[in-house]
Structure 1
Amino acid sequence: MRMRQKLQLYQISVIFSMVFALIGFSYNTWRLEVTEHNSNIRLACFEILKELAALEQLVYIAHYDGDMVTASPRKGWIKVGLIQDFSYLTNEEVKDKAATLHTTWSNNWESITTSNQSVELIVRDIDNVKTNIKALLITLK
């Protein structure tokens, strides 16, 4: 009888140990996945912020300095394209704002040297993307 109780106690402790090990492993796996996902989002956001700054600088050089060599529209197209591509790794709000920026750039890139309104529209959309990125980064854990 005494041996049987010890065997039952051993079996119960083995079952609980397995359950706790499974729970711990599952949590650890989930946590690693979330951390990796957040890391990818952060990296994409930082790359977008760098491209936004470069695009804004390009727009100002083209408009205020009239330097279309340094501020070539081809460089702007590349930056806008990268911003939109990286936005797919973030969330819907950033993706939508990046698409809006792409549309605004498409409609206004030819007149950034002469039109204050074109510059204002592009810079407004750059700021909108920045605002949404900052809001997204704050929500990551």
Structure 2
Amino acid sequence: MRITSIKKRLKIYQITSILSILLTLVGFSYNVYRLEQTEINSNIRTSSFEMLKELANLEQIVYASHYEKDDKIGNPRIGWVKVGIIQDLSIISFKEKNKAVENLLKIWEKNWSLMKNDRQATNRIIKSIDEIRKEIRIVLKNLN
């Protein structure tokens, strides 16, 4: 009777040990997944906020060029740099090429030389900036 009692206890102990190890592995795996997801979300969030800053700077360049006719603040060469930075940051924020960012590049290429004197060119650039802002807001809302 004693040996069967010891065998039962040993079997229960072994089952408990195996379940403990399995639950530990599942918990550890989930923890690693959440940490990885948190880091990805943090990178996207940081990149998105930096992109918003660069979009605001680009918008300021466009307005300074068009409304104030200021060649120092409204320098299109600085605008080219901002467009490049926005394009680089978009890869992190959107995880893939984004049509709105590609559209900004195309619109900037066609309109940067006209923005100083042509209100429609200025409006096209500003509209493309606003489209990217909308998409950034959507990305930030959908982070988990």
* TM superposition score category, shorter chain reference: over 0.9
The equivalent of 1:20 in structure 2 is 23
Of 27, 46, 49, 1:43 maps to 46
Of 120, 128, 131, 1:128 maps to 131
The 5 Å alignment of 1:46-65 reads 46-65=49-68
Q: CA RMSD in A?
A: 1.2
Does structure 1 residue 30 correspond to structure 2 residue 33? yes
Q: Deviations over 1:49-104 (max 9, x none)?
A: 00000000110000000011221111100000000000001226872211110110
Unaligned runs of 5+ in 2: none
Given that 1:94 and 1:133 are in contact with CA atoms closer than 8 Å, whether structure 2 keeps it comes out as no
Change (3 A) 1:94 1:61: farther
Given that 1:97 and 1:125 are in contact with CA atoms closer than 8 Å, whether structure 2 keeps it comes out as yes
Dislocated runs of 4+, deviation >3 Å: none
Rg larger for: 2
Unaligned runs of 5+ in 1: none
TM-score, scaled relative to structure 1: 0.97
TM-score, scaled relative to structure 2: 0.95
